[in-house]
Structure 1
Amino acid sequence: MAMQMEDENVPKCSYTIFTKNKIFNNTFRLQLFNKTIPYSKSNKFLGLYFDESLCFDKQIKEVKTKCMNRPNKIKILSSKNWKLNHNTLASLYKALIGSILDYNFPCLNSFSESGLQKLQLIQNTADRCILKLPLRTSESLFNEAENKLNISKIDHRLSSLL
C-alpha cells in the first residue's frame, strides 16, 4: 500500500522557487522516494496559481477565462422574455462571477494594476448587460450602476471582504 502511494504521488509533485530576482540559477535537485521532483514556474494550490514572482499573472488569466462567457448568460436572462428585475440579475452576477472573484480575495491585493483592470472589464460587461447600458459607457455611469446594483469595484472588493 505504501509503495503504491509513493508511485502515485511523485508525478503530482513539483516545486517553485519564489524570488524577486529575475535571473537565478535553479540548481536544486529535489527528490521524493528516489524520484526527482520537477521544477515548475507556477503551482496550483487550492485552486490558486502561485507563480515564481508572486504576481499572479496565471491566476488572473485563469479567472478571466472562467468568467469570460458568464456575462453572456446574464445578457440572455436580462432579455424582456425573462422579465427579471435588476436586483435579481445583480444576484445572478454575484453568484456567477462575484463568487469566483471572492475566492481569489487572498491574493487580490497582490494582483497588478493591469490584472485588476482586466477583471474590472468583466464586471463592467456584466453591469452593461444587467442595466442594458451602451458599449461606450462613462466611468461615472459605471459608478452609478455599481451603487444601484450594490456591487463594489474590483479594487475596493478586498477592503469590503476583510
Structure 2
Amino acid sequence: MFALCQALPGPGSTKMIYAINIIRSGFTVGILSFFLWSLPGAIAAYGLAVGISRIQETLPSPVYALLSGLNSATVGIIALAAVQLSNKAITDKLARIMVFFGGTAGMLYNALWYYPVLMVVGGITTIAWDLHWIPHNMHTFKRVFFRRPEQNPN
C-alpha cells in the first residue's frame, strides 16, 4: 500500500494516513484524519499568504540578504542531489557516454522536437548495446570499424 501511495501524484503521507484510516475505521474517520492531517499546513499557508499580502513594495536589506542565501543554499542542495543521483544511476560506461553526449547536445541546441529525438536515439543505442549489435570491447570495435587496407605482398 505504501508503494501505491508513493506512486500516485501528491503527498504520499497524506494518502497513506487516509488509506489506513479508511481500512481500519471507515470513510468518515478517513475524511476526518485527512482534514486533521492537512489542517496545520493549510493554516500555515493561509497565515503566510496574509503576511505576504501586507508586505511593503521594498524589503529591508537583511531580508534580501537572507533570500540570496536561501537561493544559494537551494542551488547547492539541488547540485548535491544531482551528483548523488548520478552516482546511483550511471553505473556503466555506456550510460556515462550517453549522459555526456546527451547533455552536451541538449546544451548546444534546444528545440521542442530535439529532446524526444535524443530520448529515442538513447533508447536505440541502449537496445543495440544490450543485443551486442555494438561491440563492447574497444579492440573489437577498432578491428571492425577501422580496418587497415589489405596490402599485397607483391
TM-score normalised by the shorter chain: which range applies?
under 0.3
Larger Rg: 2
Higher relative contact order (CA 8 A, sep 6+): 1
State TM-score, norm by structure 2.
0.25
More helix by share: 2
State TM-score, norm by structure 1.
0.24
